[in-house]
């Protein structure tokens, strides 16, 4: 049940509409990530002064930190049309050629999960990014010829939760890479204060503070928890105060530190089954019944950032802090390894 809150089905229409309604549409409204915001601002302003399309931009970071939102802002700030697609939708070079050849001048092309694009398409993209040109192969075997096709100048905005999987030639062709960081509780407080106002939801200051401290440093989760607290207050008829937040989050298995069921399952597995680690990623994934990719891209970044897990060359290790958080005493051997 908790996974539906913290990792809801991205295709769920209600959740998408809800996210859309709360998405900031300008850099000004975008909370936090100050460095990235200033870097983007400069890049966009310079392009507009020179009357050209902004450089290609790569947005990297864990889910829910604002990559899609920033891509939309890049288009919106420059009053440019936006085309959205994703890596998994581009399974052949032809899929990409179709998109690229239909772009209008100055358009922003957003490719979500760009690390999952087909290899043949990646190679086509290199040339397109550099020279605004693609070579279309016509025919097969000895009679095959390639026909060059000029493209309208465009700005590629790529998003990835796994920048390490991008081949270097692709990574190098982005003029700017933004690494999004987890948000501080004060920043999340600003995100949900704004969201509560947009939703016309009356909620106490200390309730908002409590939510922002338990949202895994992630605006998407903060907004979703806000919504669950609103449900809770509505159904139970009480005020949306700190007690309501605590009761709602307990119901959805979000603990004091904002860890959800899967976060705790990972830590518990390392501690209980592997004596604190080190344990390899794939073994760990199997033992909690999840994809290794989910563990690596979704679960681990936050656990590492909170100092509960460390990645060592020999595998994942639960830190003494993790043992403490789970209410266990570290075994001496586990400590020796750190």
Ligand X SMILES: Nc1ncnc2c1ncn2[C@@H]1O[C@H](COP(=O)(O)OP(=O)(O)OP(=O)(O)O)[C@@H](O)[C@H]1O
Is 217 labeled as ligand-binding? no
Is 329 labeled as ligand-binding? no
Phi, psi of 321 (to 5 degrees): -60, -35
- 167-196 in b/e form (b: 16+ CB < 10 A) is eeebbebbeebbebbbbebebbbbbbbebb
Is 283 labeled as ligand-binding? no
Is 69 labeled as ligand-binding? yes
What residues line the site for Mg ion (CB under 5 A)? 67-68
* Placement of tokens 């344990």 in the chain: 279
Residue 301, contacted partner among ligand X, Mg ion, none, CB below 5-8 A by kind: none
Q: Residues 7, 67, 214, 264: which is the catalytic one?
A: 67
The four Cα atoms 126, 129, 132, 135 give a dihedral, to 10 degrees, of 20
| Binding segment toward ligand X, per CB under 6 A, in 62-70, 136-144, 236-244, 309-317 | 62-70
Distance CA 176, CA 39 (A): 9
Nearer to Mg ion, 66 or 276 (CB): 66
Inter-CA distances, 121 with 82, 182, 227, Å: 20, 31, 40
Q: Residues 155, 160, 161, 209: which is the catalytic one?
A: 161
Which of 67, 216, 227, 325 contacts ligand X by CB under 6 A? 67
| Binding segment toward ligand X, per CB under 6 A, in 59-67, 99-107, 261-269, 304-312 | 59-67
Residue 24, contacted partner among ligand X, Mg ion, none, CB below 5-8 A by kind: ligand X
| Binding segment toward ligand X, per CB under 6 A, in 65-73, 79-87, 124-132, 319-327 | 65-73
- The first and second tokens of residue 5, run together, are 């809150």
Nearer to Mg ion, 67 or 214 (CB): 67
Distance CA 18, CA 219 (A): 13
Which residue sits closest to ligand X, CB atoms considered?
66
Q: How far is the CB of 187 from ligand X (least distance, A)?
A: 7
Active-site residue, 220 included: yes
Is 67 labeled as ligand-binding? yes
Residue 308, contacted partner among Mg ion, ligand X, none, CB below 5-8 A by kind: none
Which of 66, 78, 217, 276 contacts ligand X by CB under 6 A? 66
**Sign, Cα dihedral of 25, 206, 227, 237:** negative
Nearer to ligand X, 41 or 102 (CB): 41
Spatial CA neighbour of 274 closest among 292, 287, 261: 287
3 state SS of 108: strand
Distance CA 210, CA 145 (A): 63
Which of 2, 8, 63, 152 contacts ligand X by CB under 6 A? 63
**Sign, Cα dihedral of 257, 263, 265, 271:** negative
Residue 303, contacted partner among Mg ion, ligand X, none, CB below 5-8 A by kind: none
Find how far residue 266's CA is from the centre of its chain: 20
| Binding segment toward ligand X, per CB under 6 A, in 63-71, 125-133, 139-147, 321-329 | 63-71
What mask, x for binding ligand X by CB under 6 A, covers residues 211 to 230?
--------xx--x-------
Write the DSSP string, 243-269: HHHHHHHHHTT--TTS--HHHHHHHHI
* Placement of tokens 């310079």 in the chain: 46
* By CB under 6 A, residue 114 contacts ligand X: no
Q: Residues 80, 220, 224, 230: which is the catalytic one?
A: 220
Q: Contact positions toward ligand X, by CB under 6 A?
A: 19, 22-24, 30-33, 63-69, 161, 191, 219-220, 223
């Amino acid at each position: 049940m908790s996974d539906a809150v913290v990792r809801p089905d991205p295709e769920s229409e209600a959740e998408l509409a809800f996210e859309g309604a709360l998405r900031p549409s300008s850099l000004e409204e975008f909370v936090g990530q100050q460095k990235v915001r200033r870097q983007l601002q400069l890049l966009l302003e310079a392009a507009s002064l020179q009357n050209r399309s902004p450089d290609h931009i790569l947005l990297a970071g864990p889910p829910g930190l604002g990559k899609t939102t920033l891509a939309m802002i890049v288009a919106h700030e420059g009053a440019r049309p936006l085309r959205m697609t994703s890596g998994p939708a581009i399974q052949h070079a032809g899929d990409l050629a179709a998109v690229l050849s239909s772009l209008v001048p100055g358009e922003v092309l957003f490719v979500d999960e760009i690390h999952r694009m087909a290899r043949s398409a990646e190679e086509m993209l290199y040339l397109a990014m550099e020279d605004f040109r693609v070579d279309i192969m016509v025919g097969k075997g000895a009679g095959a010829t390639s026909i060059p096709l000029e493209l309208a100048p465009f700005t590629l905005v790529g998003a990835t939760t796994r920048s390490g999987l991008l081949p270097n030639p692709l990574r190098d062709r982005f003029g700017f890479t933004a690494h999004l960081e987890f948000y501080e509780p004060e920043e999340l407080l600003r995100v949900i204060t704004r969201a509560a106002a947009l939703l016309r939801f009356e909620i106490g200051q200390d309730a908002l503070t409590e939510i922002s401290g338990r949202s895994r440093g992630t605006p998407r989760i903060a907004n979703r928890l806000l919504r669950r607290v609103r449900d809770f207050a509505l159904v139970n008829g009480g005020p949306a105060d700190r007690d309501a937040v605590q009761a709602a989050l307990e119901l959805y298995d979000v603990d004091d530190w904002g860890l959800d069921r899967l976060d705790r399952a990972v830590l518990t597995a390392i501690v209980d089954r592997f004596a604190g680690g080190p344990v390899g990623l794939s073994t760990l994934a199997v033992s909690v019944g999840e994809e290794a990719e989910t563990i690596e891209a979704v679960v681990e970044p936050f656990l590492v950032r909170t100092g509960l897990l460390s990645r060592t060359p020999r595998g994942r290790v639960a830190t003494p802090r993790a043992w403490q958080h789970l209410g266990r005493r570290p075994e001496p051997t586990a400590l020796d390894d750190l």
